[in-house]
Amino acid sequence: MQPSVNIIPLFPLHTVLFPGMLLPLHIFEERYKIMISRCLAHDGMFGVVKIRKGKEVGGPAEPEEIGTLARIVSAGKYPDGRMDLLTVGKERFRILRLIDDEPYLQAEIEFLRDEEEDEREVSILAEEVRDLISDYRKKAGIKGSSDEISHDIQSLSFVAGALHIPLSEKQKILECTSARQRLDWVAKHLRAEISLLDKIGPTRPIIEPDGDI
C-alpha cells in the first residue's frame, strides 16, 4: 500500500537506498535527533537521498532528485539522545520542491512508478537473474541455498543495492523506471563477474554476504 504522504523529512547521505534494502543508521546530530523523534511519534518514515553536493555531517547538502522512502523498523536510544536505527527501503520518490523551514531538510514529493512492460519477458529475465545470482554465490564462496533468493521481480531488479559498484551507478539504477532494464543491467554485470571468477577464482564478493537477495 502506498504511504499517504506528500511532504517528508529528508536524510541526505553518501549512500543509495533501494526498495527492500536494510539500512542501519546512527543518529547523533541534533537536527536529526529532532527529525527522527518526530518520525517515531508519527509514521516512522523519512526520505533517504544521495548527496549530490555538500557534506553528510555538520552542513547543508544538495540532494539528488530521486530517493527512497525509509521506514524505521527498530530504534534504540542512548542516554545522551543518540539513536541506533534499523530502516528498510520502501517506495521511490521524486523531489518536487525542497522545504527548509525546519532544522532538517524536507521536501514535497511524488512517488516514482515503473512503466508498463511485457510481463512474460520480464519474468523470463527475472528467472535468469535468479540463476546468475545462485551461480555467482557458489563461485564466490557465499554460503546459502538458492531457495533464499527472492522470486519477486521488483526485489530482483533492485539487487544492485547489494553490489559493490559506484554510487553514481546505483543512483542511475534507482532512477530507472523499467524493471526490464534494471534486470538486464544486473544480469550483464553478474555475467561479467562470473566470467572473472572462472579465470581468477574467488575474490572479494561483489554481492554483500548479508545482502537481502
**pTM for this structure?**
0.85
Domain co-membership, 68 together with 133: no
Do 50 and 21 fall within a single domain?
A: yes
- Looking at the domain assignment, is residue 207 inside a domain? no
Number of structural domains in the chain? 2
131 in the same domain as 100: no
- C-alpha distances in angstroms, 42 versus 8, 9, 45, 46, 72? 12, 12, 8, 11, 11
Asked if residue 63 and residue 27 are part of one domain, the reply reads: yes
Q: Which domain holds residue 50?
A: 7-111
- Picking from 111, 136, 167, the residue at the C-terminal end of a domain is 111
- In DSSP terms, which residues pair with 113 in a beta bridge? none
Do 82 and 130 have their domain in common?
no
74 and 135 both lie in a single domain: no
Instruction: Name the DSSP class of 131.
Output: H
pLDDT tens per residue, the chain (213 residues)?
444 458 999 999 999 999 999 999 999 999 999 999 999 998 889 999 999 987 667 667 889 999 999 999 999 999 999 999 999 999 999 999 999 999 999 999 999 999 999 999 999 999 999 999 988 888 877 776 666 788 889 989 998 888 878 899 999 999 999 999 999 999 988 888 888 888 876 655 555 544 444
Looking at 111, 144, 160, the residue that finishes a domain is: 111
Packed helices 119-140 and 179-200: angle between N→C axes, nearest 10 degrees: 30
Last residue of a domain, one of 111, 131, 150: 111
Is 1 among the domain residues?
no
CATH number of the domain at 21, please. 2.30.130.40
